[in-house]
Amino acid sequence: MKLLMFLIFIFFLSSESQNNILSFQTKYSNSKIVSFFDATIKMQCLVPNLDNANGFFEERNKLKIGATLNFHELGSRKEDLFLNDFNFLTPANAAKQARLHPRPGIWQWERIEKFLKFANNNDLIVRIHGPISPQASKWAKEDHRTATELENVMVNFMTQSAKRYNEDKNVKYMDVVNETILPSGKWFGPKKGTHLWENPWLKMGLDENGFPNYIIKAFEIATANAPNVKLVYNQNGGMQSAMWERLKETVLYLRSKGLRVDGIGWQGHLNLSRSTIQFIEYPDDAIAELSKLIDWAHANNLDFHVTELDYRVNDMTNLTEELEFQAELYEKIIKVLQSKVHSGTVTLNLWDMGERLKKPSTFFQSIYDKDLNPTPAYEIIKKALNTK
């Protein structure tokens, strides 16, 4: 029966996806925990239950665009601007481990619950951005923290999160993991101290095939406890081939274990670091690589999400020219996103609504300036929203 279910599942996939899964079956056929034919797989878990979904999922062949709000922006002018144009919300930080469950015995649900109430009151679709990721608490980053301690907190955090969001009719996506891979293709791991950008969860070790245990465990928990929510593997950086090949391999590996991965995400913090400089210096080449990545996602029955699009300003004294360049870059990105909507789901989330300061002096720009006047990028987004 398991073999029959597997063959039926394979039959309905694209030829590229069939080849990918079957090659993984061969590659890891000696693993006691990977084999499709040995694992107990409930096929209904491989596709989310979307019976409660509203017209957001029914509106096919259209780029779905939303934006991020911070908790302190609820009830503000930014909330008004958001509601004027968007029905797709990503709460910025309220669902992250550092906020929600920073250490054993501490739970802080108030902020995300207010976001969920806001979404319910305004009939918004929500993507939960609460992944197992470097957005971890200082407690988790302490050098003496053991793998067992980390696993206990991670399991509790992900289990309670998945159960809570699964019961909310407005939540349609959740990021399960984020920023797991370096541009070089190596796993992102811990560093000394608690003040640096690091990923402490890699202390939980690797499985027998070299994949991080925390990634596998996170998707096991989400698959089991969030059948109504689409599960996303999110990633930062640019279009580095080594990084994305590692992500592709990991997604296929998770699926070969009977776990559900419904989409992949690319953050899109443009000009943040050297990893995204290709979009600034050689944008056409970078966008061509982005196009190929979306094609791979859709060929493997995965949604594609741009999850955190914004633009780091190089020179605040030359802001007018910077904003024009940002708009041109957004237009190119949106053009390729719109070209893919007939082959699968594509979403775009703007990170913040206006100008954002990362202390001490790094400014990021979205679609409104510091006085909440629309920028040239706003006109690009507005045009895309109105595209039928």
Q: Provide, rounded to the nearest whole percent, the portion of the chain with pLDDT above 90.
A: 82
d(CA 230, CA 160): 16
Q: Do the domain assignments include residue 4?
A: no
Q: What is the pLDDT averaged over residues 167-177? A: 98
What does the pLDDT look like over 71-83, one tens digit per residue?
999 999 999 999 9
Asked if the structure places residue 2 within a domain, the reply is no
Distance CA 265, CA 247 (A): 10
Nearest to 311 by CA among 371, 381, 232, 385: 381
Does 27 reside within a domain? Answer: no
Confidence at residue 36, expressed as pLDDT on a 0 to 100 scale = 37
Output the pLDDT for position 43. Answer: 37
Looking at residue 359, its pLDDT comes to 87
Residue 192 has pLDDT above 70, yes or no: yes
The answer to whether residue 35 sits within a structural domain is no
* Domains: count for the chain: 1
Label residue 387 by pLDDT band (50, 70, 90): confident
Helices (H), the chain: 2-11, 15-27, 55-58, 77-85, 97-100, 110-121, 138-141, 147-166, 213-225, 241-256, 278-281, 283-299, 319-338, 376-385
Banded pLDDT at 10 (limits 50, 70, 90): low
60 part of a folded domain: yes
84: Cα within 13 Å, side-chain hemisphere: 11
Q: Is residue 28 part of a domain?
A: no
Q: Would you say 282 and 336 are in contact if contact means Cβ atoms under 8 Å apart?
A: no
On the question of a cis peptide bond just before residue 283, with omega within 30 degrees of 0, the verdict is: no
Q: Is residue 153 part of a domain?
A: yes
**Do 175 and 130 touch, CB atoms closer than 8 A?**
yes
* Helices 241-256 & 283-299 angle (0-180, nearest 10): 10
- Which range of residues forms the domain containing residue 361? 42-385
294 neighbors 336 (Cβ within 8 angstroms): yes
DSSP string, 361-380: TEEEE-SB-TT-PBPHHHHH
pLDDT digits (tens, 9 = 90+) for 331-351: 999 999 999 999 999 999 999
CATH number at residue 232: 3.20.20.80
Q: Is 179 part of any domain?
A: yes
**What pLDDT is attached to residue 38?**
36
Q: What is the mean pLDDT of the chain?
A: 90
Of residues 297, 190, 279, the one with CA closest to residue 240: 279
In the chain, what percentage of residues exceed pLDDT 70? Answer: 84
